Amino acid sequence: MEDLLTSGYSLKGIILHSYAEVPHYLQGNPFIIKGYRNTLSASQCIQSLLVWSNESINVWTHIIGFLIFLLLAVYDNAVTIPELQGSWTDHIIYTVYLSCFQFCMLCSAGYHLFCCHSEAACKRWLGLDIAGISIGLLGCYFPAVYYAFYCFQYWRNVHLVIVCTLMMLTIIVQLHRRFLTARWATQRLMLYISAVAYGVGPVVHWIYLNGGFQAPIIQKFVPMVCVMYVLGILALLFYATKFPERCFPGKLDYIGSSHQWWHIIVVIAFLWWHHCGLQFTEYRYSTACSQTWHAASL
């Protein structure tokens, strides 16, 4: 198998190249040595879905992720919310945040599939990929804010406006002509970190409004939030450090590289957040706001 995955191997007319043979815009990770596609037509890019390259896992993890969140959106709107006797607002919240996840998955899969078409296509898809990551992260806040501040409607609306504003600002920043350049790599990483770090503010505010850590609702859901942050930090560490392939250059070209772990953890994190959203929705429909306030005052 290893002999088939070396420079110059051709399948369906698609030749795989080494790191040294591809143009600079495909040389994002010097620790991935083999398995690069290069200068393919759009149809060949699509055909390369069936070619085992160093992008195969990156593409397929998020194609599968897209299908998972699409099915969850259909199921939640058709089954879960009606069973809970939810309102039209619940349908909107679930549709919006699961659509954000789907957009993230599609943009990511599209970038990793078509980045080898040309430099122009690579830059366009990279812009969409980064926008998708940002929108996916910010999409997490819609169910969190809506259900966490369900009994505090004023603050719920304030935080929802802030989230929408952040999403708009993120998209505007990404339109800057230098945003996709190598010099802005740190700024791009900081954008992800900021999108994740913003959530600390609403969480602290939510804990305060509910009377502190002794409140039952806080004890139930704060550990879930912590798991989400652990997953987010873990994904960012893989993304930023290029571990483990930096320790084993050329050994993890096809399976086990940092970006593949980043993709897998993002899907797991979104699935976990969907699970948390369901738990929060069920809690809100089974626990009256008066009970929450009474527990907070004890």
pTM as predicted? 0.89
Q: How much is the pLDDT for 26?
A: 96
15-71 pLDDT, tens digit each? 999 999 999 999 999 999 999 999 999 999 999 999 999 999 999 999 999 999 999
The pLDDT tens digits for 122-161 are: 988 988 898 898 889 888 999 999 999 999 999 999 998 9
Query: Which range in 223-227, 285-289, 293-297 is most confidently predicted, on average pLDDT?
Result: 223-227
pLDDT > 60? residue 294: no
Domain count, the chain: 1
165 compared with 186, residue with greater pLDDT:
165
In a domain, 220, yes or no: yes
pLDDT of residue 5: 47
Q: What is the pLDDT of residue 12?
A: 61
1 has pLDDT over 50: no
- The per-residue pLDDT for 225 is 93
Report how far residue 297's alpha carbon sits from residue 169's, in angstroms, rounded to the nearest whole number.
38
Cis previous bond, 202, omega within 30: no
* 287 within domain boundaries: yes
How far apart are the C-alpha atoms of 15 and 225, rounded to whole Å?
45
Q: Print the domain residue range for 227.
A: 54-297
Instruction: Give yes or no for residue 4 having a pLDDT over 50.
Output: no
292 has pLDDT over 90: no
For residue 114, being part of any structural domain is answered with yes
**Domain CATH number, residue 243:** 1.20.1070
CB 101 within 8 A of CB 136: yes
Please tell me the predicted confidence (pLDDT) of residue 27. 95
Q: Is the pLDDT of residue 9 over 60?
A: no
In a domain, residue 117? The reply is yes
pLDDT for the residue 290 = 64
pLDDT digits (tens, 9 = 90+) for 230-276: 998 899 899 989 999 999 999 999 999 999 999 999 999 999 999 99
Domain assignment of residue 256, yes or no: yes
Q: What is the pLDDT, as a whole number, of residue 244?
A: 97
Give per-residue pLDDT as tens, 71-126: 999 999 999 999 999 999 999 999 999 999 999 999 999 999 999 999 999 988 98
Residue 148 lies in a domain: yes
* More confident position, 298 or 287: 287
For residue 177, pLDDT over 90 is answered with no
In a domain, 28, yes or no: no
Domain membership flag for residue 175? yes
Q: What is the pLDDT of residue 6?
A: 45
Per residue, the 3-state secondary structure of the chain, as one string, reads CHHHHCCCCEECCEECECHHHCCHHHCCCCCCCCCECCCCCHHHHHHHHHCCCCCHHHHHHHHHHHHHHHHHHHHHHHHHHHHCCCCHHHHHHHHHHHHHHHHHHHHHHHHHHHCCCCHHHHHHHHHHHHHHHHHHHHHCHHHHHHHHCCCCHHHHHHHHHHHHHHHHHHHHHCCCCCCCCHHHHHHHHHHHHHHHHCCHHHHHHHHHHCCCCCCHHHHHHHHHHHHHHHHHHHHHHHHHHCCCCCCCCCCCCCCCCHHHHHHHHHHHHHHHHHHHHHHHHHHHHHCCHHHHHHHHHC
